[in-house]
Amino acid sequence: MQPDTGIIAAAMGLILSGNADLIEIVGLSLRVTLSAVILSCAIGLPLGAAVGAWRFPGRGVLAVLLNALMGLPPVVVGLAVYLMLSASGPFGPLRLLYTPTAMIIAQTILVTPIVAALTRQAIEDLQSEYGEQFASLGVGPVRRLSALLWDARVGLLTVALAGFGRAVAEVGAVMIVGGNINHVTRVMTTTIALETSKGNLQLALALGVVLLGLALVVNAAVMAVRGVSARAAHA
Amino acid sequence: MFRRSFAGLAAAALFALAAPAQAADDFIIVQSTTSTQNSGLFDDLLPKFQAKTGIEVRVVAVGTGQAIKNAANGDGDVLFVHAKPAEEKFVADGDGVVRYDVMYNDFVIVGPADDPAGVAGSSDVTAALTTIAQAQAPFASRGDDSGTHKAELRLWKAAGVDAPAASGDWYRETGSGMGATLNAGTAMGAYIMTDRATWIAFGNKGDYQIAVQGDERMFNQYGIILVNPETHPGVKAELGQAFVDWVVSPEGQDAIAAYKVDGQQLFFPNAGE
C-alpha cells in the first residue's frame, strides 16, 4: 500500500476488493459480537428490569455493583476467562480456549453489566410512573417486568446498541482468549492490532475505518427496523 | 409479543454458540512468538505442512515468556520459541518432552539516521551498548520478559551496564511486543534491539537503519518442543510430534531456508547440527 493513499480510499479499496480473508474476519467479528450482545440481553434485560422494578434488600448495592461493572477492564476479563478455560483451569476439559465460543463468553461478561445497568435505570424511571397503576390493578411481579420491558423497548434498543459498541470495539479480552489465530479466531480488532505491530499503519487504519463502517451499518439497520415497527404500531 | 421475540433471541444465541468452530479435529495449537508470525514465516510454512499431512496448525503468537507459561498450563501442543535457557527449564520441569534446535536468525540494533550515540557501523555489541549508555541516548526495550528482552538484558549485563536502573530516563521499557516497541521507539528516536526478521518485514521504518549487527553474541536460536502429554493429558501428542518431526526434517528445513522477504533470507535452519 502506498503511504500517500488516503485512508478512506484505502478502506474503500479493501471493501471493494472483496478480499476473502477480510470477509471472513468481518463475518467472525459480527458473529462473535452479535452472539455476545444477544446473550447479554437475555441475561441483562431481565436482571436489570428486576433490580429496577422490584423492591428487595440489597437492591441498592446491586445497582451500584452493576454500574461499577460497566467499567470492567477487557484485559482483566480476558485473563479471568483464560484462567477458567485453560487446560489447567476448572473448565479446561471443555476445550473452549482459542475458539470463537471463548470470545463470546468473554464479551458476554463485558457487555452484560452494561445492558443490566442501563436497563435498570430505564425501568426504574418507568416504574415510578406506572407503580401506582400496577398496584391498583394487582399486577404480579413477573407480569410487571414484561410490561415494563415492553414499554421501554425503544430505549432498550439503544441499550443493546451500547453493548454492541463495547463488544465490537474490544480487543484486550478476545486477544487473550481467542489467541488471534488466523482463519479461526481473528477478528477486526485483533487484525488491527496485528497490522499495527507489523508497522502497517495505513492498512491498520483502513481496517479501522471498515470496522467503523460495520458499526454504522448495524446501527442504521437497527434504527430502520425500529422505524418500520413504530409505523406499523401506529398504523 | 415481547416474550416471543425474546425466546427467538435466546434461541439464536444458543444456535450461534452451538455452531461448531471448525468441523475437523485435525488441528494442533502452537504457542509461538511474534517474530515468527510477524515476519510471515508461518504463513509460508504452515500451508506446506498442511498440504503434506492434512494437519491444521493454529498459531498463538505472543512473547516467548507468555508462550512458555501458556504451554506450561497445557494450552498448546507444541512450543516454538527463542530463549534456550527458558526452554531447557521448560523441559526439565516436565512440561516439555525434548527440545530441538530449529533455526537461527540474529538480533540487530536499529537507530535513527542521525545516530545520536555514534554507534552506526559497529559490530561490537557490548561496546555499542556502553557508548549508548554513556551518551544517555534513548533506548527502547521490550521490557516484557520475551525472548528478545531476555537476550537484550544478557547483552547489557555483558556490557557491564545496569540499564534497567535508568528505566524511565533514557532507558524506556515499553512492556509490549516487538512491533509495538518498534513503533514507539522509532517515534521517540530511540535505539531498539530487534530480531532481523521482524525488522526486514516491518512496514514503519521511517528513517531508521541498522546501526549494530554482525556480533556473534547477537545470535538468536529458535527451538521446538512437544508439550509433555504425560503432564498435560490434553496434548495431541501424535499430531504435535508430526509437526515437530517435519520442522526438523530436511523438507521442513529447506522450506525455512527458502523463505525470503525482499530477496533476503530471514531464518537459517540448523536442526541436528
Q: How far does the CA of residue A110 sit from the closest CA of chain B (Å)?
A: 16
Contacts of B6 in chain A (CB under 8 A): 42, 45
Mean pLDDT to the nearest integer, B75-85: 95
pLDDT of B155 reads 97
Task: Answer yes or no: do B234 and A99 touch at CB < 8 A.
Answer: no
Cell (9 digits) for B144: 516484557
pLDDT at B38 over 60: yes
Q: Which residues contact B226 (CB under 8 A, 6 or more apart)?
A: B77, B78, B96, B97, B98, B235, B237, B240, B241, B244
How far apart are the CA of A80 and the nearest CA of chain B, in angstroms? 14
Q: Which of A31, A150, A179 sits opposite B16 (nearest CB)?
A: A31
Strands (E), B174-218: 191-195, 209-212
Q: Do B74 and A88 touch (CB under 8 A)?
A: yes
pLDDT band at B262 (very low <50, low <70, confident <90, very high): confident
Q: Specify whether the CB–CB gap between B179 and B142 falls below 8 A.
A: no
- Confidence band for B21, pLDDT divided at 50, 70 and 90: very low
Mean pLDDT of chain B: 90
List helix spans (H) across chain A.
7-16, 20-53, 59-69, 74-85, 100-137, 141-151, 153-168, 172-178, 188-197, 201-234
DSSP code for A70: T
Give the three-class secondary structure for B31. strand
**pLDDT, mean of residues A86-106:** 95
Mutate to test the interface with B, among A197, A200, A225 (most CBs of B within 10 A): A197
Determine the Cα–Cα distance for residues B39 and B22; give it in Å rounded to an integer.
Answer: 26
Q: What per-residue confidence (pLDDT) applies to B12?
A: 52
Nearest CA in chain B to A177: B60
pLDDT at A122: 94
C-alpha cell at B101: 534446535
Least confidently predicted of A77-81, A229-233, B116-120: A229-233
Beta pairing class for B78-81 and B209-212:
unpaired
Say if strands B264-265 and B260-261 run parallel, antiparallel, or are unpaired. Answer: antiparallel
Q: How much is the average pLDDT of A100-115? A: 98
Rounded-to-integer distance, Cα B150 and Cα B154, Å: 6
- Which range has the worst mean pLDDT, A90-94, B10-14, B216-220, B239-243? B10-14
Asked if B10's CB is within 8 angstroms of A87's CB, the reply is: no
User: Which chain B residues are within 8 Å of A184, Cβ to Cβ?
Assistant: 21-22, 58
Q: Does B1 reach chain A within 8 Å, measured CB to CB?
A: yes
* Residue B198 reports pLDDT greater than 50: yes
Which of B13, B21, B182 is closest, CB to CB, to A39?
A: B13
pLDDT at position B20 is 46
What's the average model confidence in pLDDT over B242-264?
Answer: 95
Task: Report pLDDT digits (tens) over B222-234.
Answer: 999 999 999 999 9
pLDDT at B172 over 80: yes
CB proximity under 8 Å: B 104-133 to A: none
pLDDT at B124: 96
In the numeric block, the cell 516491518 is attached to B202
Check pLDDT > 50 for residue A1: no
The pLDDT, as a whole number, for residue A21 is 86
Decide: B76 and B30 in contact? Cβ < 8 Å. Answer: yes
Question: ipTM strictly over 0.85?
Answer: no
- Chain A positions touching B29 (Cβ under 8 A) are 98, 179, 181
Provide the residue type at B50 as one letter.
Answer: Q
Distance CA A65, CA A60 (A): 9
B40 Cβ contact list (under 8 Å, min separation 6): B201, B259, B261
> What is the spatial distance between Cα A59 and Cα A225, in angstroms, rounded to a whole number?
34
Gap from A199 CA to chain B (nearest CA, Å):
4
Residues 106-145 in A contacting B (C-alpha not used; CB under 8 Å): none
| Whether B60 and A38 lie within 8 Å, measured CB to CB | no
Q: What is the mean pLDDT of residues B185-207?
A: 93
Cα separation of A208 and B21, whole Å?
A: 25
DSSP H or E segment with residue B171:
strand B171-173
CA distance B256 to B260: 9
pTM for this predicted structure: 0.86
Domains of chain B by residue range: 23-104+221-269, 106-218
- The domain locations on chain A are 19-187
Please report the pLDDT score of residue A9 as a whole number: 82
Q: State the DSSP code for B216.
A: G
- Angle, CA B135 vertex, CA B174 and CA B196 arms, to 5°: 50
Give the residue-averaged pLDDT of B85-114.
96
- We find that the CATH architecture of domain A19-187 is Orthogonal Bundle (1.10)
Contacts of B7 in chain A (CB under 8 A): none
Going from the C-alpha of B211 to that of each of A216, B109, B160, B167, B204, the distances in angstroms are 46, 6, 20, 22, 17
Task: Please give the pLDDT value at position B8.
Answer: 53
Which chain A residue lies closest to B181 (C-alpha atoms)?
Answer: A197
Rounded CA separation A222/B10 (Å): 18
Copy the grid coordinates of residue B87.
Answer: 526452554
pLDDT of residue A232: 77
Q: Name the residue with higher pLDDT: A175 or A20.
A: A175
Backbone angles phi and psi of B252, in degrees to 5: -65, -40
pLDDT of residue A235: 62
Q: Does domain B106-218 have CATH number 3.40.190.10?
A: yes
Average pLDDT of the residues in B36-65: 93
| Separation between Cα atoms, residue B18 and residue B25, nearest integer Å | 16
Q: Which fold has domain B23-104+221-269?
A: D-Maltodextrin-Binding Protein; domain 2 (3.40.190)
Asked if B180 lies within 8 A of A93 by C-beta distance, the reply is: no
Residues of A in contact with B44 (CB under 8 A): none
Kindly report, residue by residue over B109-142, the tens digit of the pLDDT. 999 999 999 999 999 999 999 999 999 999 999 9
- Looking at beta carbons, which residues of chain A come within 8 Å of B17? 35, 39, 101, 104
The answer to whether the B23-104+221-269 and B106-218 domains have the same CATH topology is yes
| Confidence category of residue B22, pLDDT binned at 50, 70, 90 | very low
| Helices A7-16 and A201-234: angle between axes, nearest 10 degrees | 70
pLDDT value of position B160: 96
Question: Nearest C-alpha of chain A: how many angstroms from B160?
Answer: 31
